[in-house]
Structure 1
C-alpha cells in the first residue's frame, strides 16, 4: 500500500517524464514563439478590449455599434488565424491535449479494472 507522499512523488516523476515527451516539448516551443510575437500580442490585446466593448454595446442595446464591433473582432481574429504559427500552435496544442487525455483515460481504465478485481 502506498501513502499519499509516495503517490505524489510518483506523480511528480511522471510530470517530469511528460515534460520530456517530444509532443509536449514541441507544444511548449511553439507556445513560446506565440508569446514572443509582438504582432500577435498586440492583436490579442486589441481583440480582448474589443470583446469587452462589444459585450457592453450589446448589454446597452446599441445594436448597430454592436454589429460593427463584432465585424471588427472577426477581422482581427481572421488576421490572427491566418498566421502559420497560430495554426501550428493549435495543432501542437491539440496533439498535446490528445496525448494527455489518452494518458488520463489509460489511468482511469486501470484504476477501474483494479477496483473491479477486488
Structure 2
C-alpha cells in the first residue's frame, strides 16, 4: 500500500514532467508574452473596470447608460481579440487544456478499471 507522502512525491514528479511537455511550454511562453504586452494590460484593466461599472448601471436600472457601457466593452474586447498574440494564446490554452483533460480522463479510466478488478 502506498503512503500519502509517496503519492504526493509521484504527483510532484508527474507535475514536473507535464511542465516539460512542448504543448505546456508553448502555452507558458505565449502567456508570458501576453502579460508583458502593456497595451493588452491597459485594455484588460479598462475592460474590467467598465464591466464592473456596467453591472452597477444594470443593477440601478440605468438602461441607456448600460447599453453605452456594453458597447464600449465590446469595442475594447474587439481590440484585444484582434491581436494575433491573443489568438495564439487562446489556441495554446485550448491545446494545453485538451492535453491535460485527456491525461485526467486516462488516469480516471485506469483507476476505475483497477478498482473494478478488485
- TM-score normalised according to structure 2 size: 1.00
Aligned counterparts of 2:43 and 2:84: Cα–Cα separation in 1: 15
Q: Deviations over 1:48-70 (max 9, x none)?
A: 00000000000000000000000
TM-fit CA distance, 1:88: 0.1
Match of residue 31 from structure 2: 31
Aligned counterparts of 2:82 and 2:15: Cα–Cα separation in 1: 33
Match of residue 111 from structure 2: 111
TM-fit CA distance, 1:41: 0.1
RMSD: 0.3
Kindly report which structure 2 residues correspond to 1:67-106, keeping only aligned pairs within 5 A, or say none: 67-106=67-106
Aligned counterparts of 2:14 and 2:56: Cα–Cα separation in 1: 45
Runs of 4 or more above 2 Å deviation? none
Aligned counterparts of 1:106 and 1:112: Cα–Cα separation in 2: 10
TM-fit CA distance, 1:92: 0.2
Gaps of 5+ in 2: none
Aligned counterparts of 1:64 and 1:30: Cα–Cα separation in 2: 38
DSSP 3-state at the match of 1:2: coil
Match of residue 14 from structure 1: 14
Aligned counterparts of 1:53 and 1:17: Cα–Cα separation in 2: 43
DSSP 3-state at the match of 1:61: coil
